[in-house]
């Protein structure tokens, strides 16, 4: 018997609604008996934590996260907290989890389910069968570089500063992850950076080339300027299999890739740390790529698929339960094939459902598959 400890951090907005649906799926797996079970702890993060405790994540929640085998994260933020100081804003909770646990490797798979090929804003022929992995560096670059400030100038103006910093080892370790993942996929890696303008871009290019030569000469490597990558993703997405890039470009390119799958509501993600040399396990956080969607929150409209698919990633990467992950992913595809759609992926002639109905339908498919 293995008991996997999960920490569920629903957060704000639709994060709360989609987390209920993932709990439904966890309950089904627990109900099945079998050698694996889950123990779920819950806590607040983001605006909800600010309201209750004045900080975006408490030390107690961080302590729970530390002992968890996997963290399941909903979403944070909303206009309610627009006026809280920058240091305590809801997003600070997520950034602290990423930074403190050194979750440097962010896997964002953009897979276009066959049933959704017409829901994309791109033509069916461009997205049908699409299966891209965006690998985003998550603990460096513009997000965390210092100084990061707004200073008042003597002439009455202000100056805003963000700093983009990368070191050799930070780039090397994410490029190694890219090559290892590529070996299990098509064997091809694109690295996107701006070496024509940014010094960090020059370092990304040089370290990537060296890492590739020294550690993974079997992998096909292509360097691409990040702006060209954004354009090529729209022009012909299927030319890509795995794109490795820095924190800021990865944030942007992954939203772009997500839309090709039909909706931002479809994209899961895994944020992994380095493997512990003793146990071989990595600290890990799983979250949907979409945000808290304040415009639809509390109405039961949100698409729970990205959250449920994020749990499937947790099973795969943190719980050694690849078979069950497959079951969940197949259940999602089935429900889509059966014509159920939340508002974000709705198409003419299909059945519009809310968050709970979608969650129940996926749960039912999982039950059937495991029966």
Binding mask 223-252 for ligand IPM (x = CB under 6 A): ----------------------------x-
Q: Which range binds Mg ion by CB under 5 A, 69-77, 189-197, 249-257, 339-347?
A: 249-257
Provide the b/e sequence for 140-155 (b: ≥16 CB within 10 Å).
Answer: bbbbbbeeeeeeeeee
CA-based nearest residue to 73, from 235, 264, 270? 270
Is beta strand 188-193 parallel, antiparallel or unpaired with respect to 158-163?
A: unpaired
The one catalytic residue among 227, 236, 276, 295: 227
Binding mask 276-305 for ligand IPM (x = CB under 6 A): -------------x-x--------------
Residue nearest to Mg ion (CB): 251
CA angle 238, 239, 244 (to 5 degrees): 100
Given the structure tokens 């979250």, which residue do they identify?
A: 287
251 binds Mg ion (CB under 5 A): yes
CB nearer to ligand IPM: pick between 92 and 179: 92
Is 255 a catalytic site residue? yes
DSSP 276: P
Please give the backbone phi and psi of residue 114, each rounded to the nearest 5 degrees, phi first.
-50, -40
Is 227 a catalytic site residue? yes
91 binds ligand IPM (CB under 6 A): yes
The one catalytic residue among 64, 251, 334, 344: 251
Please give the backbone phi and psi of residue 261, each rounded to the nearest 5 degrees, phi first.
-85, 0
Specify whether the CB–CB gap between 131 and 197 falls below 8 A. Answer: no
DSSP 86: G
The one catalytic residue among 143, 166, 286, 317: 143
Supply the minimum distance, in Å, between the C-beta of residue 289 and ligand IPM. 6
CB nearer to Mg ion: pick between 17 and 251: 251
Measure the CA–CA gap between 146 and 358, rounded to whole angstroms. 43
The one catalytic residue among 64, 69, 194, 344: 194
Residues that bind Mg ion (CB under 5 A): 251
Give the residue numbers marked as catalytic: 143, 194, 227, 251, 255
């Amino acid at each position: 018997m293995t008991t996997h400890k999960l920490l569920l951090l629903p957060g704000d907005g639709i994060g709360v609604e989609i987390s209920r649906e993932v709990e439904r799926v966890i309950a089904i797996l627990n109900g099945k008996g079998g050698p694996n079970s889950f123990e779920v702890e819950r806590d607040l993060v983001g605006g909800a934590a600010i309201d209750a405790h004045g900080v975006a994540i408490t030390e107690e929640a961080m302590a729970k996260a530390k002992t968890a085998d996997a963290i399941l994260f909903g979403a944070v933020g909303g206009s309610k907290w627009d006026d809280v100081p920058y240091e305590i804003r809801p997003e600070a909770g997520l950034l602290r989890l990423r930074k403190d646990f050194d979750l440097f490797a962010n896997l964002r798979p953009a897979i276009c389910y066959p049933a959704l090929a017409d829901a994309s804003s791109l033509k069916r022929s461009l997205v049908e069968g699409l299966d891209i992995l965006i690998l985003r560096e998550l603990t460096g670059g513009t997000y965390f570089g210092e100084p990061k400030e707004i200073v008042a100038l003597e002439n009455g103006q202000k100056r805003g500063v963000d700093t983009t910093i990368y070191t050799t080892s930070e780039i090397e370790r994410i490029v190694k992850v890219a090559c290892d993942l590529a070996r299990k996929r098509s064997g091809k890696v694109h690295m996107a950076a701006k070496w024509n303008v940014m010094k960090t871009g020059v370092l990304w290019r040089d370290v990537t080339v060296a890492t590739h030569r020294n550690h993974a000469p079997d992998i096909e490597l292509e360097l691409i300027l990040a702006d060209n990558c954004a354009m090529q993703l729209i022009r012909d997405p299927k030319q890509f299999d795995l794109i490795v890039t820095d924190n800021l470009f990865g944030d942007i390119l992954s939203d772009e890739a997500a839309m090709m799958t039909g909706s931002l509501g479809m994209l899961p993600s895994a944020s992994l740390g380095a493997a512990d040399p003793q146990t071989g396990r990595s600290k890990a956080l799983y979250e949907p790529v979409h945000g808290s969607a304040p415009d639809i929150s509390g109405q039961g409209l949100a698409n729970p698929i990205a959250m449920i698919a994020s749990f499937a990633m947790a099973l795969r990467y943190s719980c050694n339960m690849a078979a069950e992950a497959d079951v969940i992913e197949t259940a999602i595809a089935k429900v889509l094939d059966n014509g159920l759609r939340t508002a974000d992926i709705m198409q003419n002639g299909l059945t519009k459902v809310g968050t709970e109905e979608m969650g129940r339908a996926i749960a039912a498919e999982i039950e059937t598959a495991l029966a």
